[in-house]
Amino acid sequence: MTDPDPKADGAAASQDDSTAPEFSLQSVYLKDCSFEAPRGPRVEGTWNPQINLDLNTAAEALSPELREVVLTVSVSARNGESTAFMVEVKQAGVFGVRNLEEADYRRAIATVAPNVLFPYARAMVAQLVTQGGFPQMLLPPVNFEVLYARSMAEAQQQAQLNS
């Protein structure tokens, strides 16, 4: 009986290919969070908040093949003229990056990484708001592909205006 050829297995072959593109999750962690409720959960009138959601993604090189990506989710709720609460969560992940073209790298940082990190940030926002004494708040899903495409189109449009 002969040993199977490790190259015949697609998974083994891809692990040995040092030129294959890679964007892989190494770890996920909460980097920072804050919750402020200036008046506590006391709400005057009907609870019908105006919610403002801001998202930001930043990447930093930790080594030639590792990037820390931080997704910042900021949520503020105003009920009438007063601020009910503000919450900010910085959810981070370390990603292995190898052999990616610049355009693929940008797309991975702007879409793949936030898609991985957002569910963790979303859960933390919900937990902080609930523990702050407010009704449960679930952030809607975010399509980071659409946000990236919109950002690229706006950058292209701005470049055309400046030339």
Q: What DSSP character marks residue 1?
A: -
Q: What domains are defined for the chain?
A: 49-151 (3.10.420.10)
- Assign 93 to helix, strand or coil: strand
Report strand pairing: 22-36 vs 50-63: unpaired
The model's pTM is: 0.84
Give the rounded percent of residues in the chain with a pLDDT score beyond 70.
90
Tell me phi and psi for residue 81, to 5 degrees: -95, -5
Tokens 């890679």, residue located: 22
**Mean of the pLDDT values across residues 69-82?**
95
